Amino acid sequence: MLIDFFYTLRSAKLPVSVKEFLMLLEALQAGVVGPNSGKADGPDGEISEGAYKIDDFYYLSRTVLVKDEKHYDKFDRAFASYFKGVEMIADFTRDIPLEWLRKNLELELSPEDKAKIEKMGWDELMETLKKRFEEQKERHEGGSKWIGTGGTSPFGANGFNPQGIRIGQEKSRNRSAVKVWDQRAYKDYDDTQELGTRNIKVALRRLRKFARQGNQEELDLDDTIRSTAANAGWLDIKMVPERHNNVKVLLLMDVGGTMDDHIHRVEEMFSAVKAEFKHLEFYYFHNCVYDFMWKNNRRRFAEKFPTWDIIRKYNKDYKLIFVGDATMSPYEILQAGGSVEYNNEEAGAEWLQRLTSAFPKFAWINPEPQGIWQYRQSIGVVQQLMGQRMYPLTLKGLEEAIRLLSK
């Protein structure tokens, strides 16, 4: 009866009630999901776990049991722990035969061997991949030409090439791919992350500007003392409108890929920003901003927000803050079609310039250590596009960025 599944969710600190769990069981009994009729097929009418397709059950249980999107990641981890296979929920293999991508070995090369491998230019890389799809008929391993594994070819998995297209690999190894064939799943930054220090909040607080507006609800102590003294000691209470935080912030955050190394610090900053600013709007992007962004990483292709709409929606009095490591192939910034995930019609540089023109008060916060910026070509490109308004994700860096945005 999936009782253990219920306790697994509760152990993961998900707010799942008994009533919601019973609703899930009723939905299963009613045949909402499952092969054939989906009716329970266990002994005495009980629900057999094997009677349902795992992906159908995943979506049904998440819909019934999870009432807030911020708990999706916790639910996924608990689901994976119980069923040991949540990664198979979606099939992202596309049209590439799985046999081509079977991992038998993982290539390890010396720095000298890696230096000998030549990298292709962007146009040559795209054209060559097209030819490989037309010509290749079988699996290849350990080579330098075909789509395969464990070699030095620009196309495949678990090998090495200084500039290639990653296909069928679980995660990044060398971070040198200029495009990724597989669709990847990212998770939203947790805005409930508890801060280990109040210093980030204190640094951000310097940006806040207050305006008095609304009904007279707040005691003006200084004016009350002054008026009482002038009134020969008779109490004369003075009220003023309550102060409201009047600063508006548009936060654009890089997520996934190399940003996985910085999740904890970015979550701390995200928590602090949400606590300090009443007028906050945020969106996600991957590596560089293109023609659309998203608010929920699990629906980033289903719920797109066109960048043009974002530019038109918010006034220029919004403070624009980018958060990202700016670590990517320069093609992703300067080349149309350079995105690792899809063929963008316009270069990322064009969109960065449009955003910074629309919002004059802007800054880029980079979680990468400042000492390595000079060794990353893409960081130099973004710095130039930002007019050198890039600051490290340190207390000093935040203070300098806030000082700039406050002018």
| pLDDT tens, residue by residue, 343-364 | 889 999 999 999 999 999 999 9
Question: Which residue in this structure is represented by tokens 């500039």?
Answer: 163
pLDDT for 388 beyond 90: yes
**What phi and psi, each to the nearest 5 degrees, are found at residue 51?**
-75, -5
Q: How many Cβ atoms are within 10 Å of 8's Cβ, its own excluded?
A: 18
**What phi and psi, each to the nearest 5 degrees, are found at residue 108?**
-125, 120
Give, rounded to a whole angstrom, the gap between the first and last alpha carbons of the chain: 62
CA distance 117 to 182: 24
Are 73 and 190 in contact by the 8 Å Cβ rule? The answer is: yes
The 3-state secondary structure of the chain reads: CCHHHHHHHHHCCCCCCHHHHHHHHHHHHCCCCCCCCCCCCCHHHCCCHHHCCHHHHHHHHHHHHCCCHHHHHHHHHHHHHHHCCHHHCCCCCCCCCHHHHCCCCCCCCCHHHHHHCCCCCHHHHHHHHHHHHHHCCCCCECCCCCCEECCCCCEEECCCCCCCEECCCCCCCCCCCCEECCCCCCCCCCCCCCCCCCHHHHHHHCCCCEEEEEEEEEECHHHHHHHHHHCCCCCCCCEEEEEEECCEEEEEEECCHHHHHHHHHHHHHHHHHHHHCCEEEEEEEECECCCEEECCHHHCCCCCEEHHHHHHHCCCCCEEEEECCCCCCCHHHHCCCCCCCCCCCCCHHHHHHHHHHHCCCEEEEECCCHHHHHHCHHHHHHHHHCCCCEEECCHHHHHHHHHHHHC
Q: How many Cβ atoms are within 10 Å of 377's Cβ, its own excluded?
A: 13
pLDDT in tens, 9-47: 888 888 888 889 889 888 888 888 765 433 444 444 444
Confidence of residue 389 (pLDDT cuts 50, 70, 90): very high
Q: Catalogue the long-range contacts made by 132-136 (C-beta closer than 8 Å, 24 or more residues apart).
A: 136/100
pLDDT in tens, 97-114: 555 555 545 555 566 655
Q: Start-end ranges of CATH 3.40.50 in the chain?
A: 199-206+246-406
pLDDT at 231: 84
pLDDT for 91 beyond 70: no
pLDDT for 121 beyond 70: no
pLDDT for 67 beyond 70: yes
pLDDT at 234: 86
Are 147 and 153 in contact by the 8 Å Cβ rule? The answer is: yes
pLDDT for 384 beyond 90: yes
pLDDT in tens, 294-309: 998 877 778 899 999 9
Verdict on whether the full-model pTM lies above 0.75: no
CA distance 288 to 381: 11
Are 273 and 203 in contact by the 8 Å Cβ rule? The answer is: no
pLDDT in tens, 254-288: 998 889 888 888 888 888 888 778 788 999 999 99
Are 300 and 228 in contact by the 8 Å Cβ rule? The answer is: no
Determine the topology of domain 199-206+246-406 in CATH.
Answer: Rossmann fold (3.40.50)
